[in-house]
Structure formats: structure tokens, C-alpha cells
Amino acid sequence: MPIRATAKHHPHDDAPDTAAAFRSLAALPDGAERDALRDAIVEAWLPMADRLAGRFRSRGESYDDLRQVAALGLVKAVDRYDPGLGNAFESYAVPTITGEIKRHFRDHMWTLHVPRRVQDLRNRVRSASQDLSQTSGRTPTVAQIAEHSGLSEEDVRAGQEALESFSALSLDAALPGSDDGYSLGDALGAPDPALDTVVDREAVKDRLAELPERERAILYMRFFDDMTQSGIAEELGISQMHVSRLISRSCGRVRDQVMSDAGGE
């Protein structure tokens, strides 16, 4: 059953007159005839679905993918529309198709997981910002956006933060203003190996203080001044072998005491 657009003025210029076709579709039983009429109705409304998809072309998704999503929304609208309610099909189809496209962006296009409420805030803040910018020619303030959108300033800030969360940069992306190839990954922190040293030093601090003065001095020269055993021996006027024994004995004593303290806890 071919369906043609008429000269009748609709809210949408590309809306065909399918009222009779929908009444026939509702009366037909499942089968080849009903499927053919359903397909004809969908085909007749595809130009409007494509036009609705075009409204979202500047949001980072390919137009072909948007057309497919819009077509899916159109099929859902055709299947769910009840002509017996008396409403024009386009008044039902437009929000259904638009909702399907918006759902696609919400579920598939966000790199970071953002709660739906924050996504909605982002959309309202984005729309208000565009309206105010076109009117004044300047970037609106948080207070102006809040007044225009009916949101609190806190919600406006949350929406503005979400504007930066729709997509993510690669860690290999160069930092702004960097001419030497310095990337975001280079700016990431890493575990500090000195943290373990801090823990160890705090664990032995009290036990080192209990050592005889000469043994403390030897350990300080060896592990803090990075002196050799021969250098320490020369400094103190004793043999290198004696220095070696004192270091071994002092380290063993401190280690045993620290292990004993840890076991006692």
C-alpha cells in the first residue's frame, strides 16, 4: 500500500498523511499484509526521522549512526502508536525518536560513567549557556545560567563539570602549551619508593637511640654519610674488621628488637 505525502499543513512539513494507514494497521491480524503495511508506514516517516537525527550531528556521533538510532525510534513509535486515542502520529513519534537518540548518547557516548541526573544537568546548563551567549554575545556567569535554567548555582557547577566528562583524552595526549612532547601520562604520580624507607626509619628510631654512642656513630657514618668500612675505621682509629663486627652486631640487635616489638603488637 503506497503512502504519499499530501499538501496538508502538519506541524512537521515532512509528515505524510498516514491516518488511514494506521487505522488499517490496527485492524489487520498478524501476517504478511500487516507487515507490508507497517513497513510502508515506517518508510513514509523516515525523512522526518532523518531530520530529527540531523539535529544532533554536532555532538560527536556519525550521522549514519544517528539515522539508524532515529529509525529504531521510529519503528518503536509505529509499533506502539494507538490511532484510537485520537492524537496525530507525529505528536507521538517526535518525542519517541528524540528520546531514543538522547538515550543513545546517554548510554553509549559517555567515556566516563556519569549519573543520569548529572547528565540532565549538563544538558540544561549547555542549553542555557547557548541561549545566553547568543543573546548577550558573552560567556554567561554561573549566576546567570542558574537564573535562566531555574537551577541552583551548585547544580550549574555540577553540569559544567559534566561538560568536560563526555569524552576523555588519551594519556599520550600532549599537555596544552607543551612543546617538548610532555604528555598527560608523564604528569601522573607514581608510588614513592621512599615511603617504605620512612616506615623503616620510624620503626628503628627508638631502638637506634638505645645503642651505645660509638655504635650509633658507626651506623650513621655507614648508612647516612655513605662512608666505607675502611673510611670509618680510619676515622675512629680501629680496624676495618672491628667496624664490620660492630655494624653486624648493631643491625642484628635492632632488627631483633623491632621484630619482637612487632610480634608483641
> What CATH number does the domain containing 207 carry?
1.10.10.10
Structure-derived torsion over alpha carbons of residues 248, 251, 252, 256, reported in degrees to the nearest 10: 180
Q: What is the CATH number of the domain that holds 92?
A: 1.20.120.1810
Helix (H, G, I), strand (E, B) or coil at 218: helix
User: Band of the pLDDT at 114, cuts 50, 70, 90?
Assistant: low
For residues 245-256, average pLDDT: 89
61 and 29 fall within a common domain: yes
Residue count of the chain: 265
* pLDDT for the residue numbered 69: 92
88 and 135 fall within a common domain: no
96 within domain boundaries: yes
63 and 99 fall within a common domain: yes
Segments forming the whole domain that contains residue 230: 194-264
* pLDDT for the residue numbered 10: 47
pLDDT tens digit sequence for 199-234: 777 878 888 888 888 998 998 899 888 899 999 999
130 within domain boundaries: yes
102 and 127 fall within a common domain: no
53 within domain boundaries: yes
Helix (H, G, I), strand (E, B) or coil at 183: strand
Long-range contacts of 109-113, Cβ-Cβ distance < 8 Å, separation of 24 or more = 109/59, 109/60, 109/61, 109/166, 110/165, 110/166, 111/165, 111/166, 111/167, 111/168, 112/165, 112/168
Number of domains in the chain: 3
Angle between helices 142-149 and 116-136 (to 10 degrees): 110
Task: Choose between 62 and 33: higher pLDDT.
Answer: 33
131 and 103 fall within a common domain: no
69 and 134 fall within a common domain: no
229 and 248 fall within a common domain: yes
* pLDDT for the residue numbered 199: 75
Query: Looking at the predicted structure, is the pLDDT value of residue 148 above 60?
Result: yes
pLDDT above 90: percentage of residues in the chain = 35
8 within domain boundaries: no
Burial letters 185-219, b for 16+ CB under 10 A, else e? eeeeeeeeeeeeeeeeeebeeebbeebeeebeebb
55 and 93 fall within a common domain: yes
186 within domain boundaries: no
pLDDT tens digit sequence for 164-205: 665 566 667 676 666 666 776 777 777 777 777 777 778 788
72 within domain boundaries: yes
For residues 129-153, average pLDDT: 89
Whole-number Å distance between alpha carbons of 210 and 254: 9
pTM: 0.44
215 within domain boundaries: yes
23 and 104 fall within a common domain: yes
* pLDDT for the residue numbered 137: 81
68 and 26 fall within a common domain: yes
Whole-number Å distance between alpha carbons of 102 and 55: 11
Element (H, E) at 201: helix 194-209
CA 79 to chain centre: 35
